[in-house]
Amino acid sequence: MHHVYSRSGVRVSFDSRGSGPPLVLLHGSFSDHRSNWEFVIDDLALHFSVIAVARRGRGETDATEGHALVDEADDALAVLASLGLPAFVLGHSYGAQVALSVAQRAPERVRGLVLYEPPTPRLVAGPTFARLEALAGNGDWGGFAWTFFADVLSVPIEELSALRASDSWASIVADAPASLGDLRALRRHAFDARAFARLTLPVRLQIGSESPRAFYVTDALAAALPDVRIEVLAGQAHEGMTTAPEQYVESVRRLLSPALSPA
């Protein structure tokens, strides 16, 4: 792993592989810089220099409490600064909100954004969040993960039971404490799509055809951004890079195709 330090002194770690235009990956919650991208990173690295950032509490990045979403944007900006040239930034879920903040704070470091379902800060209702905090306080991280997927994301019980029985469940539960930090930061985050009306760099929005659009700010961004396009991932929900990796990689390549064309 590689390491840089953000301006607040947080050690930020990241993996790097591939060649081509730099593409910085910012993962979502209940995952890390490896598990979020494990089915797509090799194919992405055939076309890009892929830099997979470990957000706070993952990989060898420092774990902190009480941080804000913009603090994680500063972490990502430290990685971008270390590259020495502007990069494309791809964010999934909470990582997509971080990517937006990165572009707003330092647009000169970003060639373009690909955002897969950035969540609304109102994603978790107050009573549900209180239940999640209670489960966390009792150290019931399995119950925390189950409640989030069942009561927040409305994953069908049959699918959720299959997920709990799979090899992936252990890593999901292990990430729950860091994911609680994500949820706390998201609830405090002041998001207004109109704040991005002057962001002139290209922004490409991915959304699954099966996803509840009210959970995400995709449509609000599409109405506000000057250079924007939505691409729907047919048959997918919130985890297209896992459930349909070939489709997902092709979508990213298509959305960033101008950068892949010969000069």
* Packed helices 94-105 and 69-83: angle between N→C axes, nearest 10 degrees: 60
Clarify whether residues 97 and 218 are in a common domain.
Answer: yes
Clarify whether residues 141 and 229 are in a common domain.
Answer: no
In whole angstroms, give the CA distance from residue 105 to residue 245. 31
Clarify whether residues 115 and 130 are in a common domain.
Answer: no
Hey, what amino acid is at 228?
V
* Packed helices 126-137 and 176-188: angle between N→C axes, nearest 10 degrees: 150
Of 188, 205, 222, which residue is a domain's last? 188
Check residue 30 and give left, alpha or beta (phi > 0: left; psi -120 to 50: alpha).
Answer: left
Clarify whether residues 172 and 42 are in a common domain.
Answer: no
Of the chain, the end-to-end C-alpha distance in Å amounts to 32
Clarify whether residues 22 and 98 are in a common domain.
Answer: yes
**Count of domains observed in the chain:** 2
Q: CA 124, 151, 37: angle at the middle one, nearest 5?
A: 80
Buried b (16+ CB within 10 A) or exposed e, 119-141: bbbebbeeeebebbeebbeeeeb
Clarify whether residues 126 and 92 are in a common domain.
Answer: no
pLDDT band at 169 (very low <50, low <70, confident <90, very high): very high
* pLDDT number for residue 23: 98
Of 152, 168, 188, which residue is a domain's last? 188
Domain that holds residue 37: 2-121+189-260
**Ranges 3-12, 154-163, 169-178: which has the least confidence:** 154-163
Place of tokens 């076309």: 47
Contact by Cβ (8 Å): 48, 253: no
pLDDT band at 167 (very low <50, low <70, confident <90, very high): very high
pLDDT band at 136 (very low <50, low <70, confident <90, very high): very high
CATH number for the domain including 207? 3.40.50.1820
In whole angstroms, give the CA distance from residue 262 to residue 250. 18
Beta bridge partners of 90: 25, 114
Clarify whether residues 112 and 170 are in a common domain.
Answer: no
Clarify whether residues 25 and 114 are in a common domain.
Answer: yes
Mean pLDDT of 215-239: 97
Clarify whether residues 145 and 200 are in a common domain.
Answer: no
Closest CA to 245 of 46, 13, 9, 20: 46
Reading the block at residue 235, the tokens are 């048959």
In whole angstroms, give the CA distance from residue 119 to residue 148. 14
Clarify whether residues 8 and 115 are in a common domain.
Answer: yes
Clarify whether residues 140 and 30 are in a common domain.
Answer: no
Clarify whether residues 65 and 179 are in a common domain.
Answer: no
Other CB atoms within 10 A of residue 187 CB:
14
Res 200 pLDDT > 70: yes
Of 138, 157, 188, which residue is a domain's last? 188
Could you read off the pLDDT of 100-126 as tens digits, one per residue?
A: 999 999 999 999 999 999 999 999 999
Mean pLDDT rounded to a whole number for the chain: 96
